[in-house]
Chains A and B, each alone.
Chain A
C-alpha cells in the first residue's frame, strides 16, 4: 500500500480529476448499457403478454 492517506488516494498526485473521470465514465457506460438491456427485455415481456 503506497497511499499515505485517503485524501492522497483521491488526489491521485494531482491527477485526480482525470483519473476519476475516466473510471467514472466507464462505470456509468456499463451501468447504462445493462439498464437499457433490462428495459428492452421488460418491454418484450409486456409485448408477449398482450
Chain B
C-alpha cells in the first residue's frame, strides 16, 4: 500500500512538471487550458471507478463473495471525490472559457447524475443494519446505474453539446500535442495509483470493522 502512494507521488510530480513547465501555452485558451491536466484524468477516473464498482458488485452477486462487495464499498468515496473534482474543475474552466460556471449540457448533466448515483449508492449501503442485505441491495443499484457511464462517454457524440468532443480516442490520432497528452496520461496514472492505494487501505478498514461488529454480536449471543 505505501508503494502505491510512493508511485502516485512520483507520477504527480512528473505530471505537474510536464503540465506547468514543459507543455506550451494553448493558442486558443491561453494558460487556462492547464486545468485539463486534472479535469480529464478526474473525469476518466470517475467513470472507470464506477464501472469497476459495478463489476465488483456483479461478482459479489454471482459468486456470493463478500469481499467483492467490500471492494465496491471501498471504492465509492474515491469515485465520488473524482466525480466532484471533474465537475468543479470543469466549472472553473467553463467560467473563463464559456462565460458560465454551469450549463445544462448533456455531458455535464450526465456527469452530475453520476455524482448522485455515487451518493445514492453510499446512502443505500448505510441504510441497512444488516450488512448482507446492504451489500445485495446496493449491488443491484450499482449495476442498474452503470447504464449512465456509456451515456456520459458518448454524450458528446449523440447530442450537440457545448462540451467539446473527445480529444483522445483509441481509434484516431489524438487531437492534441503529444506533450500535453503525456502530461494528461501521467496525471491519470498518478490518480490510478492513488485510487488503488486508498481503496486497499479502506477495504482493510471495512473488513476489520465488520469483524469487530461480528465479534461483538457473538459475545452478545453467548451472554444470552
List A1-40 residues whose CB lies under 8 Å from chain B. 1-3, 9, 12-15, 18-19, 21-23, 25-26, 29-30, 33-34, 37, 40
A25 touching B93, Cβ below 8 Å: no
B202 touching A26, Cβ below 8 Å: no
A23: chain B residues within 8 A (beta carbon): 38
Q: Tell me whether B59 is interfacial, beta carbon within 8 Å.
A: no
Which residue from chain B places its CB closest to the CB of A36 in the assembled complex? B77
Pick the contact of A37 from B35, B84, B92, B205 — CB < 8 Å?
A: B205
List B66-102 residues whose CB lies under 8 Å from chain A. 77-78, 81, 84-85, 88-89, 92-93, 95-96
B93 touching A13, Cβ below 8 Å: no
Report the minimum CB–CB distance from A44 to chain B (whole Å): 5
A1 touching B31, Cβ below 8 Å: no
Report the minimum CB–CB distance from B156 to chain A (whole Å): 21
Q: Tell me whether B24 is interfacial, beta carbon within 8 Å.
A: yes
A13 touching B25, Cβ below 8 Å: yes
Q: Tell me whether B107 is interfacial, beta carbon within 8 Å.
A: no
B96 touching A44, Cβ below 8 Å: no
Chain A: interface residue total (CB-CB under 8 A): 25
Pick the contact of B198 from A3, A18, A33 — CB < 8 Å?
A: A33
B89 touching A26, Cβ below 8 Å: yes
B93 touching A18, Cβ below 8 Å: yes
Which residue from chain A places its CB closest to the CB of B85 in the assembled complex? A26
Pick the contact of A22 from B21, B88, B201, B205 — CB < 8 Å?
A: B88
B35 touching A33, Cβ below 8 Å: no
Q: Kindly state the separation between the CA atoms of A25 and B201 in the bound complex, as whole angstroms.
A: 22
B13: chain A residues within 8 A (beta carbon): none
B42 touching A26, Cβ below 8 Å: yes
Q: Kindly state the separation between the CA atoms of A37 and B78 in the bound complex, as whole angstroms.
A: 11
Report the minimum CB–CB distance from B128 to chain A (whole Å): 20
B208 touching A44, Cβ below 8 Å: yes
Contacts A12-B34, A22-B89 known; list 17 others, CB within 8 Å. A9-B20, A12-B32, A13-B31, A14-B30, A15-B32, A18-B92, A18-B96, A19-B35, A22-B38, A25-B89, A26-B38, A29-B81, A29-B84, A29-B85, A30-B81, A33-B77, A33-B78
